[in-house]
Chains A and B, each alone.
Chain A
């Protein structure tokens, strides 16, 4: 097993409050990690810290053995981020939004129609993003993850706003991603019904 992501002694403060202290974990290819905890316990913060959106008070995160701070671009090139606000422009169409992504990161636009088909978005490509329902918008976010050639998926509450079919879809996508040798880190207060074993971190 190749170790992809490792975190050592992470400490993050939010203002005066210490959200977590001396947290360490490692993630191999094909493994997933679920962060659980009550609202406000720091799930999102931990995920943002791993992604590199937040500075760590202490500790170090390594991707394939290299520090993610020093090799930021290489790390971000292999990482996909799926958060509560999906990060698409309301005024652009679904297609324009996805095309923009391909200018920023390595994407397989050849798979576009297959991916859109899988997510049930094929008929919506010309609609402005604002016209989509919340669940559909989340699906477009999933489309971005599938198109990006990312080894590591960081997902914050991936099941929010999705119908039961959509939730099953997310679980299936993650399973496929793990089987393909990827790794996934999720933050969720709901139980994510993955078949494979998951590591868990419970934040107090």
Chain B
């Protein structure tokens, strides 16, 4: 009998993404929580501040970005927790696939479940802040790049704190400093777009930051996972 070969890297990656999406589908509550949080925070602001158009336009980008950052942070804690608790993490680490690839798969699934829906909903939120159409386009682009970066950076923090009790506070402390450039450039770029100013520099910065995170975060997360799981 010839033994089937080990699955390819792509098959391993796809299996991890598919499993996590299936899990999210079976527990829609976990998936919708960050989205609800994002929608609630960003829609409550106009109600609290008042409907004055100029004020809303001024605050809009910042509020949307802060809400997005917090809602991604909120969803990070659970990234590896259930895998640690039910022993799947052992099996993942002991699989013949490279661990960074598995960490990347988990991160991609995390973004698809928590970051991507948020990007999809954001144009609706933007309307409540009376953003013009071009600004909404810029916001969607920056939010896409930003949430991918946040998921990647967050995966490192989540991997480091997964074995700890009440790791949530520590996780925020670890991730927030790294997330600051994303927040600053993201919100500022949208604000510039609203003022009809040049936005390409900000978008490029976010894209570069995203690529940097993409090339380092899976390896850092893999190393952190091994330490946390000892």
The majority secondary structure among interface residues of chain B is: helix
Q: Which of B18, B88, B92, B96 has the most CB of A within 10 A?
A: B96
The interface size bin for chain A is: 20 to 34
Asked if A103 is at the interface of the complex by the 8 Å CB criterion, the answer is yes
Q: Is B86 an interface residue (CB 8 A)?
A: yes
Contacts of A63 in B (CB 8 A): none
Encode contact with B along A59-92: 1 for CB under 8 Å, 0 otherwise. 0000000000000011011010101111111111
A55 to B93, CA, bound (A): 13
B4 touches A92 (CB 8 A): no
Find B88's partner among A51, A76, A87, A96 (CB 8 Å cutoff): A87
Complex formed: what's the CA distance from A79 to B93 in Å? Answer: 12
* Contact (Cβ within 8 A) A83 B90: yes
CB-contacts of A93-138 with B (<8 A): 96, 100-108
Contact: A106 with B7, CB < 8 Å? yes
Residue of A79, A86, A89, A103 touching B94 (CB-CB under 8 A): A79
B5: A residues at CB distance < 8 A: 106
With contacts A73-B96, A81-B90, A85-B86 taken as known, whether A105 is within 8 angstroms of B6 at the C-beta atoms is: yes
Q: Do residues A87 and B90 form an inter-chain contact, with CB atoms below 8 A?
A: yes
Q: How many A-B residue pairs have CB under 8 A?
A: 97
Cβ-defined contact, A107 with B87, below 8 A:
no
Contacts of A77 in B (CB 8 A): 6, 96
Residues of A within 8 A of B4 (CB): 106-108, 149
Which chain A positions have C-beta within 8 A of B91? 81, 87, 101, 104
**For the complex, is A191 an interface residue (Cβ under 8 Å from B)?**
no
Do A88 and B230 touch across chains, with their CB atoms under 8 A apart? no
Q: Are B86 and A96 in contact (CB under 8 A)?
A: no
- Give bound CA distance, A105 to B3, whole Å: 11
Which single member of A55, A79, A83 contacts B87 (CB below 8 Å)? A83
* B-side interface size class: 20 to 34
Residues of chain B within 8 A (CB-CB) of A92 are 19, 22-23, 26
| Residues 79-135 of B contacting A (Cβ, < 8 Å) | 82, 85-98
Which partner residue on chain B sits nearest A52 by CB separation?
A: B94
Q: A87 and B87: CB pair below 8 A?
A: yes
Of all chain A residues, the one with the shortest Cβ separation from B27 is A91
State the CA gap A86–B83 with chains docked (Å). 11
For the complex, what is the distance from the CA of A108 to the CA of B86, rounded to whole Å?
24
- B96 and A76 contact, CB distance less than 8 A: yes
Question: In the complex, are the beta carbons of B87 and A104 less than 8 A apart?
Answer: no
Q: Does B41 contact A (CB under 8 A)?
A: no
Q: Are A104 and B96 in contact (CB under 8 A)?
A: yes
Residue of A nearest to B102 (CB): A104
Interface residues of A in 158-199 (CB under 8 A from B): none
18 additional A-B pairs beyond A101-B91, A103-B11, beta carbons within 8 Å, are A52-B93, A53-B230, A55-B230, A76-B96, A77-B6, A79-B94, A81-B91, A85-B87, A89-B23, A92-B22, A96-B19, A103-B12, A104-B91, A104-B95, A104-B97, A105-B97, A106-B7, A149-B4
Chain B residues with a Cβ under 8 A of chain A: 3-7, 11-12, 14-16, 18-19, 22-23, 26-27, 82, 85-98, 226, 229-230
